[in-house]
Amino acid sequence: MKLTLKVWRQKNNQTLGRLETYVLEEVSEDSSFLEMLDILNEQLIADGQTPVAFDHDCREGICGMCSLTINGIPHGPDGGTTVCQLHMRRFNDGDTITIEPWRARPFPIIKDLVTDRSSFDHIMQAGGFISVRTGSAIDANEIPVPKPVADYAMDAAACIGCGACVAACKNASAMLFTSAKVAQLNSLPQGKPEKDRRVLAMVNAMDEAGFGSCTNYGECSAVCPKEIPLDMIAKLNRDYIVAQTKSIFTKVG
């Protein structure tokens, strides 16, 4: 199939970027989206041009590195899919495809389609941990976890931290990411001791990084490759309100 690509090219965070148009004459329907970009890059190198920088690692939908906004939709047109799992058969011969990076102030562009997502790491560092006793490892299943709670925590833990939620949100809000991380640890018995201080610290880190605020559009969940549901955000709000209220009366964390 023949494709016209409009790709965001930007040298670094200090320079302005713009869309460049490239034409690929022959792309196999069976190639993945990232393989299609590999083909583009080989063509660019052969022509003596700089290849397009884009993030990727596992290419099997589990690491959260790949991060392309395709025709305005993070991770492309398929729901519940990372862009590395997207295939060219999803497009038609003769299509024009616009490829842009994640766009948010807390995700500055490093080069072309690669962004610096360390603001997510800062949110994790603020509260994405639990206290464990040192010494020998405790037996598995020593702490009973009710099945519905385990299922809920597992749904939250599916988050791979790719940042598509921020990219899709019209406010560039990181509520879905933060809520998944908070919900996972706050719902399990192992995470209970830091429950209140965790939610306060992680929301603080989220705000400090400069993400926008949630207006409950639901675009985040709609593009999330792991389909993290919006009720995680309701839980984040609930836990936050409870923790703030408690902090009026007692010392939290």
State the residues that interact with ligand FES by CB under 6 A.
Answer: 56-59, 61-66, 82, 84
Angle made by CA atoms 245, 238, 145, in degrees to the nearest 5 = 110
Pattern 152-191, binding to another protein, x per CB under 8 A?
A: ----------------x-xxxx-x----------------
Out of 151, 216, 227, 245, the only residue in the binding site for ligand HEM (CB under 6 A) is: 216
Indicate the pairing of strand 3-9 with strand 96-100: parallel
Q: Which of 40, 214, 225, 226 binds another protein (CB under 8 A)?
A: 214
The smaller minimum CB distance to ligand HEM, of residues 15 and 245, is found at: 245
Question: Nearest distance from residue 126's CB to ligand FES, in Å?
Answer: 24
Alpha carbon of 71 to those of 64, 87, 238: distances in Å? Answer: 20, 15, 35
Question: Which of 113, 111, 92 lies closest to 4 in space, CA to CA?
Answer: 92
Are 236 and 175 within 8 A, CB to CB?
yes
Q: How far apart are CA 247 and CA 198, in angstroms?
A: 13
Could you list the residues that contact another protein (CB under 8 A)?
6, 8, 19, 69, 71-73, 98, 100, 103-106, 168, 170-173, 175, 203-204, 206-207, 210-219, 222-223, 229-231, 233-241, 244-245, 247-248
